[in-house]
Structure 1
Amino acid sequence: MEWLKDHAFETWLGLTILLGVAEMFSLDFVLLMLAGGAAVGMIAALLGAPFVAQVILASAAALAALVVVRPNVVKRLHQGPDLALGHGKLVGQQGLVTERITAMNPGRIKLAGEIWSAQPYDDTLVIEPGETVDVLQIKGATALVHPVPRLES
């Protein structure tokens, strides 16, 4: 035990490296958080803190990392991108009106490089060619659209 007190920096450094290498095999982020705590203990040893203080600081840092940091890291790592398939990925995009759109006569829009039939989301609207529209919904092969307001300057 006396040797550990005399070589605290080296002991903490060795523990940090050992836990870091072990983390590469477990990939659970538990050992990495413990390695972070050991690094705090190593810093405390460098600053000349008593061995008991080093152990308390290392334990507190490791516990804080396990409670605060690890859940967020694991959540981000296991969360993939939102996957939008089919025509659902077109909702929210903008298209260009190529043929007049009314509630009674569906028109056409160019959306994602393709021509789609389109109807106004609001039945009272008439949307002229050349206007930009937001796609609010897709029903079958028809896009329900709403014109994007123009900014007058």
Structure 2
Amino acid sequence: MTDWINDNLWVVWIGVAVVLAVAELLSLELVLVMFAVAAVAAAALAPFVPPWVTMIVFGVVSILLLGVIRPRFRRKLHSGPTLTVGHHNLVGHVAVVDEPVSDLGGRVAIDGELWTARTRSGEQFDVGARLTVVSIEGATAVVAGKVAP
């Protein structure tokens, strides 16, 4: 058995790589896949070098991949536009008054959608006024201050 492993060490490294790659599918942390790639590198060298060299290659490639490639992949995966979902992404948007708005109620259009609205300050705004959305409370937009046209 030991002779077969020594003669076919590349097969063992490929088996290790496959197991690590499958385990990576469960974790999705980009750690085990780096070890799997290192195992493939060791498997590529296994027919040509002694077994202890394949272990060193596995260790060095693993460290390089974890230290250099993984951080770049993680940055790339986590970069890009931040997608705010729900009504909280409307805070700071411009609201155009559709029905007069006061602290008792009213209606505004925010990004083309009609919302019930009210003010906190007790001010009243007439139709067509451009206001800023301060917060969203349930299905009501709290608006304040006029925005320049």
TM category, shorter: 0.5 to 0.7
Partner of 1:91: 91
Q: Which runs of 5+ in 2 are unaligned?
A: none
**What is the CA distance between 1:45 and its match in structure 2?**
4.1
Contact 1:45 1:51 (C-alpha < 8 Å) held by counterparts: yes
**What is the CA distance between 1:135 and its match in structure 2?**
0.8
Partner of 2:37: 36
**What is the CA distance between 1:101 and its match in structure 2?**
5.8
Partner of 2:15: 14
Partner of 2:58: 58
TM-score of the pair, normalised by structure 1:
0.51
Contact 1:137 1:145 (C-alpha < 8 Å) held by counterparts: no
Contact 1:91 1:138 (C-alpha < 8 Å) held by counterparts: yes
Partner of 2:119: 119
Cα offsets for 1:47-92 (capped at 9, x unmatched): x55543432221233345567749x59xx7xxxx8775xx656424
Contact 2:133 2:141 (C-alpha < 8 Å) held by counterparts: no
Q: 1:134 aligns with which of 132, 135, 143?
A: 132
Instruction: Mark the CA change 1:52 to 1:137 in structure 2 (over 3 Å): closer, same or farther.
Output: same
Matched, 1:110 2:104: no
Q: Which runs of 5+ in 1 are unaligned?
A: none
- SS, match of residue 27 in structure 1: helix
| Number of residue equivalences | 134
Instruction: Mark the CA change 1:139 to 1:41 in structure 2 (over 3 Å): closer, same or farther.
Output: same
Q: Distance in 1 between matches of 2:136 and 2:67?
A: 44
Instruction: Mark the CA change 1:6 to 1:142 in structure 2 (over 3 Å): closer, same or farther.
Output: closer
Runs of 4+ aligned structure 1 residues displaced above 6 Å come to: none
**What is the CA distance between 1:127 and its match in structure 2?**
6.0
